[in-house]
Amino acid sequence: MYQIDFQKPLTVYFIGIGGISMSGLAEILLQEGFAVRGSDAHESGLTDHLEGCGAKIFYGQRAENIGDGIDLAVYTAAIHPDNPEYQEVKRRGIPMLSRAELLGQMMKNYHHALAIAGTHGKTTTTSMVTEILLAADMDPTVSVGGILHSIGGNIRVGGQELFVTEACEYTNSFLEFFPTIEVILNIEADHLDFFKDLDDIRHSFKSFAGRLPKEGLLILDGAIDNPEEITQGLACQVVILGHGVKGDYGVTDISYDEVACPSFTLMKKGVPAGRIRLGVPGEHNVYNALAAVAAAEALGVPMEAILKGLAGFSGTERRFEKKGKVGGITIIDDYAHHPQEIAATLRAAKNYPHKKLWCVFQPHTYSRTKALLDDFARELAAADQVVLAEIYPARETDTLGVSSEDIGARIAKLGTPVSCFSTFDEIETFILKNCSPGDLLITMGAGDIVKVGERLLGK
């Protein structure tokens, strides 16, 4: 594998530079004095920012974009071997690294490298840790999979002491990383277009844990099934997060304020260790915060800064993000696209002021929809009314014979009113006709369903 010498900046080309992770890595290299070029299908806020930082970006991926002077090309898992830029890079013999390989090499340059993994909750927990570190006046370099307003985007370039990043399991990307501290929040069946089954996913997480050095630290949620299977044979220290008073860290006495933001008593080895208040809603965020507390204490952060950082964290874009109100209807947007995420978001919404809870859901990928049809229906049925958009294909083209109507039929059998529409215009018309003042409307999914709420608000 090609090895970058970060003391000798060179010219790097990113195939797909506009992605949330790729754009962050490109910005880190720009700050380190590298020359950055790249391409993406469309202009965006992220690509505009990179161009403002000095990157040269092409829109549309063509072989002629790969000119002379490129020392290294970086690509994502979404780039296929028939991509014209990928083929031209190969033809020219330019060294290549995957996004994950580049991120792994970056981690080696820091004294501490904290990697936060799990099927869901990565972005929020990474953001919580970031807010805590900033409250402690530390200077982390951060790569987060969402827009965090306190750092002005998805990346923060800090000193060489500490690197904080999400660690995604898809295509086993995190097995290219070199962390000194790991957090594993949960392990659920997902990305079944790549993994064979849940056992296959668990095997990857165990391999991820095995990448820690003996002086490293694993922070593991004890609610994961058979956690001993993940920790068996590890030479590093292991910290277990408990639900209740059990575990090295635990929680008790959860309560909620008028906008569903929780407070809880932190337990350490079964002993009360103070009251923590969060600025984001939902019980799931209690356990994200618990992981952030454990990671922060491992890095030597005092409790005063932990309390300040968590209380001041108001969320990242597309994570239970309040978009506004129209006609007395509150519109929230959320990135949830897995049944467990849907369940957590709708539970949070139950504690949020509302008359009727609407969920406008856009399934993400055919493979995930087909594999988890019954789970999607069961969790979505917790809303008072469900509206389904067509499946967002993302990287897939094969429908696998599944559609949103398949989810809708199952939801209807569970007794929850549900409607399916083929266009966003139809969804917006239906909402305007049927929603009432005081209702809470959540647009939900990892595709472009956010546009529905934004258009209703006139954005």
AA letter at 286: V
Note if 122 is an active site residue. yes
DSSP letters, 225-239, are SSHHHHHTT--SEEE
Strand-strand pairing, 181-184 and 112-117? parallel
Note if 171 is an active site residue. no
Q: Taking phi first (over 0 means left), then psi (-120 to 50 degrees means alpha), and beta for anything else, what does residue 5 get?
A: beta
Whole-number Å distance between alpha carbons of 287 and 264: 10
User: Which of 27, 131, 166, 188 is flagged as catalytic?
Assistant: 166
CB 109 within 8 A of CB 46: no
AA letter at 348: A
User: Which of 88, 122, 176, 316 is flagged as catalytic?
Assistant: 122
Radius of gyration of the chain (CA): 22
CB 279 within 8 A of CB 260: no
Whole-number Å distance between alpha carbons of 330 and 325: 5
AA letter at 73: A
User: Which of 76, 119, 123, 141 is flagged as catalytic?
Assistant: 123
Residue 166 is inside which H or E element, if any?
Answer: strand 162-167
Note if 214 is an active site residue. no
Strand-strand pairing, 153-156 and 141-148? antiparallel
- Say which residue the tokens 């199952």 belong to: 410
Whole-number Å distance between alpha carbons of 266 and 257: 18
Handedness of CA 370, 402, 446, 113 (dihedral sign): positive
Whole-number Å distance between alpha carbons of 89 and 67: 9
Catalytic center residues:
122-123, 166
